[in-house]
Chain A
Amino acid sequence: MIAIWLVLSVITTPIAALVIGPLIPPGNDSVQGMGQVFDNQVLIAVSAPIMCFVLVVLVYSLIVFRQREPAAEGLPIRGDAQLQVYWLVVTTAVVLGLAAFGTYELVKDGAGGGQGPSPTFLPPNHNTAMPVQVIGQQWEFTYRYPTFGGIEIPHLYLPANTLIKLHVTSLDVIHSFWAVNLGVKADANPGTDNIAYVETRNPTKIEIRCAELCGLWHGYMFDLQGRVVSKTAFEPLMKAQQKIYGPVSKFLPPFATSYSPEPTLRAG
């Protein structure tokens, strides 16, 4: 039985890690996304032998130890002190190893998650990151660029190969900003600045969805028109946006990490 398990593990583990693992989203559109993919590869490589072990023992038992004659009894084994120690040692080692690895991946660059107003896990060169504010409201996200005159625009445009510092906040209820293919998720809370770092790579489209139930039209709170564009194309693009949205943005409150709109207790 151990042999069956070993053979199965040797076959399935590489397949899981090297074939299935890279297929698991978010893919390689951002450095954080790539970190998640690598993380998933390791986790699935660890899970495969565990899954094989339990299934092999289970199926083997069900076949070999099925009741062959009526009223046959099993062996009265009530425990095994040594085995249970081995089991505890192995499971503990696996668990601690996974936790340590997960912590390493998290500490490295924040893994694309929202970390609140004072982030702990900073990617290298985080001081040079370009700030972009994501404002959630029922039921759309808008984006504010403090480095481009504080304009607020309806679609997210990011330069390629750049570290972005996303300030996620909300004007009403809790939303969750999820840039699916960038591997970014950060809850948008009213009155709170939730910071997430993401380092873009090549030009691509951005799929953005709201991942926290935020009321009636939650299902429609998505945007597929965001783009990561090359650095050379980014400046002209933003200039054009400034031309369109600059006049409107003058009437907005000045850029801040969070905003306090009039509380609307009953939106209907």
Chain B
Amino acid sequence: MSEGVQTAGGPAQTVAVRQPPVWRRLIGFNLLTGVLLGIGGWYLGWWLGHQVSGASIAYFSDTDQNDIALFLGYFTAVVGFLIGMGFLQYPIARLRGYPPSLREKETEGIGRYFGLCTDHKVVGIQYLFGVGLFFFIAGLNAMLIRFELLRPTPVFNSGNYLTLVGLHGTMMMGMMTSAVLGPFANYFVPIMIGARRMAFPRIESLTFWLLMAAGGILMTTVFFGGFPTGWTGYAPLGNQANYGMDSYIMFFALVGISMCLLGLNMLATVITMRAPGMTWSRLPIFVWGVISTSILNLLAPPVLVAALAMSLLDRTAQTTYYLQSGGGSQYLYQNLFWFFGHPEVYILALPGFGILLELLPVFSRKPLWGYRLAVAGMMGVTLLSFLVWQHHLFVSGINSSLRPFYMLSTELISIPTGLTFLCGLLTIWRGSIRFTVPMLFALAWFFNFLIGGLSGIFNSDTPSDTTEHGSFYVMAHFHYTIMGGLVFTFFAAIYYWLPKMTGFQLNERLGKIHFWSMFLAFNSTFLPLFAVGLLGQPRRVVTYAPHLQFLNDWVSASAFVLGLSMLVFLYNLVYSLLFARVRAERNPWGSLSIEWQLPSPVPVQNFDTIPVFQNDPYGYGDGAGPVTRPVGVPARGR
């Protein structure tokens, strides 16, 4: 460890450095340059595309739609953005013979949050606000969707409504994949395993900015007429769609690359950078959740990128990968998409398991029950999630003889998921439970995921799924698992770790209001949707049967309350971080995990010396004294 033992922040060189004027500081590799080069790049690619293919499209095609120009525009926009952010600076410097370095770009001050930064803690906070921004945009879309469904007859124009549905789904499924791995794993995994950085700090920053570029590209779809396919982007419809579809393809491809790199980085970090004594059986369970998610992150998205590459070729080069009439098959897209898509939903759910099991011991003052079992459960889900994708295609008309197998493999997932329930329930059993805000959000997981899981049994059962497939029942099911499983634990993690990340406490009273309003409104929103689906309302419809209006209105009203509860959270965040500014203690929850033994917020170098671990962080209830230990020495006798 050459970057060694210098203290956090370093002794300030008190030489009065004169700050250059603002306009001078804006020149260089930063967000402004990135955005400008991105926009410039877009116009360059657009122009280039028209030079390349404009004439032939004008001659051969019956429309003037030039998808090649748009894709080229997006490509060059992303490249320009990354160059402007300074991602090529280091590779070029290395080519010119500069010595290798691992950590640069770690300046103090607010500016580091708006650019390429190799400090994993800065990237974690960037992720939190970046992902949070898109979470709220997608949530607003959901509010508009529910506004439309207040009436059985349309309120919005049909195409706009489909774009809203597509944007909500795509943004949630794309951006929220990194909702936990982005902010919390980037911030805390290196600390938890006793490292000072991620294995690939520049790739770490790249994953974040790729995700933001992807989000920006998805937003531009509104300038190109939106896309009609929802988040699944099924093929013949996607081939038929207008310009806006290209934004979807670019978005998901970039998200796929970002996810893949993120998973790779996490795995490399945990495998290679654990401090002395941090054996595999001492890893915090959250890190195991991150590992299992990262395996999925590494293996699933390449399939998506390949599928989207074929979509791109279908739309630009007029290939027919997905067109039956041209010798292709729409089933190819469905298979590839769901081979990614099913692991994807576990990419969303598994971090929730990790957070749940990480928080329960802290707030029940009890060791994690069945550590190995919990790990086995998460790994079991990881493995099985690759074997179940055709349950999305039970009525699609492919190999009906395989249906019993996919029914079995899907139901087998209940076994490892059940292990998480067992470990969670027995961790709080005979504990000493404190009902703090993070604990409340974690406990809500049990209820939500129970309903999500049990409704999933109906979905996995082929006869029962005949009616449920493609209806609001499925929609309610996955909102229970993903919103109930991920978003609730995501908020648990925010309330739990934000004091460590920012150094300021969140208001507990507002937190409790947020929790109860969100929990009740969430259940009131999604429970009736099971009935709505079974009674015959397909997903993504702009109109519905008049006799379902009461249920739909109930759901919409609850959804608006759910939206308001998010405003409570936003208010809490702004109030606590900007106005109240109550300093967080070093270890407000009395946790034994190492991140809580460090100052809040964690200093740049994390540790003064690399810690040596002697046991896992779950030694609660052993009768040892108060839970404060010197930094870098997480040991406590058992």
Partner-B contacts on A (CB < 8 A): 24-26, 32, 35-36, 39-40, 43, 46-47, 50-51, 54-55, 57-58, 61-62, 65-68, 71-80, 83-84, 87-88, 91-92, 94-96, 98-99, 102-103, 105-107, 110-121, 168, 172-174, 176, 178, 180-181, 183-187, 189-196, 207, 209-220, 260, 263-268
Contacts and interface: CB of A to CB of B under 8 A. Distances in A.
Given A61-B431, A99-B408, A189-B324, A79 B234 contact: no
Contacts of A110: 400
Interface in B271-319: 318
Interface of A is mostly: mixed
Given A62-B428, A215-B237, A184 B466 contact: yes
B135 interface: no
Contact of B370 (A79, A91, A95, A263): A79
A213 B237 contact: yes
A185 B446 contact: no
A219 to B, nearest CB: 4
Interface string B530-571: 000011101111111100000000000000000000000000
Contacts of A168: 397
Contacts of B422: 84, 87
Given A84-B422, A91-B418, A214-B237, A77 B430 contact: yes
Interface in B472-518: none
Contacts of A192: 324, 397
Interface string B415-454: 1001101100110111111110000000100110011001
Contacts of B457: 43, 46-47, 98
Interface stretch (B215-223, B249-257, B340-348, B617-625): B617-625
B407 A103 contact: yes
16 contacts: A24-B534, A54-B450, A65-B364, A67-B434, A74-B430, A76-B622, A87-B422, A99-B412, A112-B463, A119-B400, A173-B237, A209-B536, A216-B159, A218-B162, A260-B325, A264-B240
B458 A36 contact: no
Contacts of B446: 54, 58
Interface in B600-630: 618-623
B624 to A, nearest CB: 9
Nearest to B314: A265
A96 to B, nearest CB: 8
A268 to B, nearest CB: 8
Contact of B435 (A25, A66, A102, A118): A66
A32 to B, nearest CB: 8
B102 interface: no
Contacts of B240: 172-173, 215, 264-267
B65 interface: yes
A147 B257 CA distance: 53
B621 A219 contact: no
B369 interface: yes
Given A61-B428, A219-B541, A25 B536 contact: yes
Contacts of B451: 51
Contact of B395 (A187, A214, A266): A187
A263 B191 CA distance: 57
A189 B397 contact: yes
A98 B443 contact: no
B389 to A, nearest CB: 15
B618 to A, nearest CB: 8
Contact of A213 (B229, B393, B464, B544): B229
A72 B365 contact: yes
Given A99-B408, A191-B324, A178 B425 contact: no
B228 interface: yes
- Residue in A36, A80, A196 with the greatest tally of chain B CB atoms within 10 Å: A36
Interface residues of B, number: 105
Interface string B137-174: 00000000000000000100011011000000000000
Contact of B470 (A25, A78, A102, A176): A176
B38 interface: no
Given A47-B454, A173-B237, A267-B240, A74 B364 contact: yes
Contacts of A72: 365, 432
A118 B402 CA distance: 13
B540 A74 contact: no
Nearest to A195: B397
Given A73-B432, A215-B237, A95 B365 contact: no
Given A25-B535, A87-B419, 8 more contacts: A73-B621, A102-B463, A187-B393, A187-B395, A209-B536, A211-B538, A216-B158, A265-B318
A149 to B, nearest CB: 27
B469 A215 contact: no
B506 to A, nearest CB: 21
A58 B443 contact: yes
A26 to B, nearest CB: 5
Contacts of A260: 325
B324 A190 contact: yes
A76 B367 contact: yes
B470 A212 contact: yes
Nearest to B430: A75
A114 B326 CA distance: 24
Contacts of B154: 219
A43 B466 CA distance: 14
A95 B411 contact: yes
B621 A75 contact: yes
B407 A189 contact: no
A174 B236 contact: yes
A72, A96, A212, most chain B CB atoms within 10 A? A212
A102 B443 contact: no
A65 B463 contact: no
A190 B325 contact: yes
Contacts of A209: 536, 538, 541
B51 interface: no
Nearest to A48: B454
Contact of A50 (B454, B543, B619): B454
Given A67-B434, A121-B400, A217 B324 contact: no
A219 B230 CA distance: 13
A111 B463 contact: yes
Contact of B536 (A32, A43, A207, A220): A207
Given A73-B620, A76-B367, A266-B65, A216 B228 contact: yes
Given A84-B373, A106-B407, A117 B454 contact: no
Contacts of B590: 71
A32 B373 CA distance: 41
Contact of B425 (A50, A54, A77, A80): A54
B231 to A, nearest CB: 10
A35 B467 CA distance: 12
B514 to A, nearest CB: 19
Contacts of B447: 55, 58
A262 to B, nearest CB: 9
B19 interface: no
A265 B310 CA distance: 16
Interface in B382-398: 393-398
A220 B460 CA distance: 29
A115 B397 contact: yes
B236 A173 contact: yes
Given A174-B237, A185-B470, A215-B228, A74 B62 contact: no
B458 A43 contact: yes
A88 B325 CA distance: 49
B369 A78 contact: yes
B591 interface: no
Given A67-B434, A73-B620, A79-B373, A114 B395 contact: yes
Contacts of B365: 67, 72-74
Contacts of A210: 538
Nearest to B323: A263
B325 A106 contact: no
A78 to B, nearest CB: 5
Contact of B433 (A62, A98, A181, A213): A62
Contacts of A114: 395-397
